[in-house]
Chain A
């Protein structure tokens, strides 16, 4: 496969050569690995103060631990409005928060020159959507045991033969639509940006970079909100 040169590819050249000698194409994962290492480093440095003590007083300065605390707090509050199920938010919040920050960082990477956003590989978005799918069903099965099938049968018992195929198809389409939405938005956006940069690099791409910023943030938001809605749907007891 013919890919361009990216900064992450240059940085990870030795690793790429090792992987290529085993017959694996390393390009899609370079930038994703770069982003993952960056996020872990950020979390480590930002969270150090919170790991040392149990209760930390806010000291009024705008610093990295403050920003991280604000981010985590706001996200937890937001997910609590979506997931009402008993004990649910704390269980899934690490996963949802990790998705949000990972997808956001991946999307924003596409705006920097010399980087490909890792989410314009369908492999990555499909993997993320598959994780959401498996987790939602795992949570539902663990919560309801065998009563989980009742969710697929609809509200009235004589509608069950009609509802079951519809519900099955709708559940199977969810990872497909999640992955395609993220993939399509990011690929289309990156192509448009590349096209306009090739046309006139000086002033023309600026509105498209603004659009790219909006789309990146919006798409990561939509992904985690939909994931939270699927988790809530799996966890709630039918009324």
Chain B
């Protein structure tokens, strides 16, 4: 029973990869000016806007952590680890924007 569940989960995951085989070859022709403008603007703004929100979010998280440390300096170790975890999770949203920028930039 256990083996069957594991096998099913693995099969389910492998099926997820099937759409990758359905990709056609990328457009080899030249793109028009408007398309290039759109792609370039999109790539630039993706990171810019993502970084804006990410900066504010990380600032809020750090300020709360610092306030907690200022109230209770002996708890700084216990505050530090969740702060780093929170910062990395917020930063990951900015990184999604960066990945989209890379994808767009490769299509120019």
A interface, how many residues as a size bin? Answer: 20 to 34
A-B contact count (CB 8 A): 44
Task: Determine which of B9, B96, B98, B99 lies in contact with A134 in the assembled complex, contact meaning CB atoms within 8 Å.
Answer: B9
In the assembled complex, the CB of B4 is this many whole angstroms from the nearest CB of chain A, namely 11
User: Given A138-B5, A141-B5, A187-B102, are A181 and B10 also a contact pair (CB < 8 Å)?
Assistant: no
Using CB atoms, name the residue of chain B closest to A187.
Answer: B102
Which residues of A have CB within 8 Å of B6? 134, 138
Which residues of A have CB within 8 Å of B45? none
Q: Write the A181-206 contact mask toward B (1 if CB under 8 angstroms, else 0).
A: 10111011000000000000000000
B interface, how many residues as a size bin? Answer: 10 to 19
Whether B13 lies near A181 (C-beta < 8 A) is no
Most buried by A among B84, B85, B92: B92
Q: Write the B54-94 contact mask toward A (1 if CB under 8 angstroms, else 0).
A: 00000000000000000000000000000011001101100
Q: Other than A138-B9, A221-B88, give 12 A-B pairs with Cβ distance below 8 A.
A: A130-B13, A137-B9, A138-B5, A138-B6, A181-B88, A181-B92, A184-B95, A184-B98, A185-B91, A188-B98, A218-B88, A219-B88
15 A-B residue pairings within 8 Å (CB atoms): A134-B6, A134-B9, A134-B13, A177-B92, A177-B96, A181-B88, A181-B92, A181-B95, A183-B99, A184-B92, A184-B95, A187-B99, A188-B102, A218-B88, A221-B84
